[in-house]
Structure 1
């Protein structure tokens, strides 16, 4: 089964949900994100951020009362971006199932690409409320969008018709929640994005029809080339 080619879209904000308006708040968020990813959340301080930004602590505190407030805002931006992007991808009737799958993986993988096991462990230890919020975002998005994706795959003959989309969506949620845990990532020596890609191959390998597997294999190289661009 062939589907009309639809260009793979990668809006500028797919991997960067923080606005680019040049405001002081945006500058703080961008600098903090880079600092947290480079040095870890636990070892970063408001003093460090103020020094890196070249602003006084008073100015920094005028915008954000704590570093937890900063990471909370970053996570909120990321959550909204992922939800908006996944909604646009999975609701588009012009994209084939495999194209949607590629773009879903790229969107989620892009968001995870700079998150290290150390960063997740830091949040789990020093900002458990934020870590729980990430879990809530995952729990809210996965059943909706992966169920929709699987339903679309069944309609297009790419996913086995006997698959229960809602059960498969819940299964995927619990599988990925178990795999993207700091201790499991460290044990497997994988990044969150690498874990996602391996899990997708394994999970959808069992769901696809023979035609779906052929189409997926045909598009896989394009998916990976697009992801690394």
Structure 2
């Protein structure tokens, strides 16, 4: 069962994600929750403490997980398609300034969050690839350690990149991400897996 502190963390994360960290005040969070600012300070020392605990909570309660009840029963390809749909939902609802604010104003917190999230995401991708090879959908000879590290680092670093190869407009383009998924799956799938992709990923 959720408690008040968890409610505060979830709401502040929602506001940070939509509007950025710098622009969201403790008053905004209190108003959204219908509580007093004093109540928030019963759980958090200051905004810095709130940001740190919110990120810690997100690390332990990721918005998407291949191991979650919602997708753990799916085959590896359907799991990756579910991940793609999650990415699209994030693109449609996210605010670029949140990650910018984290890196600029909370570098220590950001570094811990980034490295921990990267490691956990890579581990989940590893398990997804392993599952796919066991199901005969992914190529058994591929190096799943290398592939999982490459994909994890790509997605985790996209928003930070200043590369002229991946433009900001591309990262916000749904068709761009669809092509990435097809590129990835066609590279790792067996013939049976590719046939499954053709029939199930539209």
TM-score where L is the length of structure 2: 0.76
Gaps of 5+ in 1: 1-18, 222-229
CA deviations over 1:25-46 (Å, ceiling 9, x no partner): 2443344234323432112233
**Match status 1:167 vs 2:126:** no
| Contact preservation (8 Å) 1:180, 1:195 | no
Asked if 1:142 corresponds to 2:142, the answer is: no
Q: 1:24-173 maps to which residues of 2 (within 5 A)?
A: 24-50=4-30, 53=33, 55-82=35-62, 85-88=65-68, 95-106=74-85, 114-173=93-152
Q: What's the TM-score once normalised by structure 1's chain length? A: 0.68
Q: Aligned pairs, how many? A: 200
Residues 83 and 31 from structure 1, CA distance in 2 versus in 1: closer, same or farther, beyond 3 angstroms? closer
Distance change in 2, residues 1:95/1:177 (3 Å): closer
Q: CA deviation at 1:105?
A: 4.0
* Aligned-pair CA distance for 1:123: 1.1
Q: 1:168 Cα deviation (Å)? A: 1.1
- Name which of structure 1's ranges 192-201 and 79-88 shifts more when overlaid on structure 2: 192-201
RMSD (CA atoms): 3.5
Paired with 1:42 and 1:192, the residues of 2 have a C-alpha distance of 26
Unaligned runs of 5+ in 2: none
SS at match of 1:63: coil
Work out whether residues 113 and 193 of structure 1, in 8 Å CA contact, stay in contact via their aligned partners in 2. no
1:73 CA displacement = 2.6
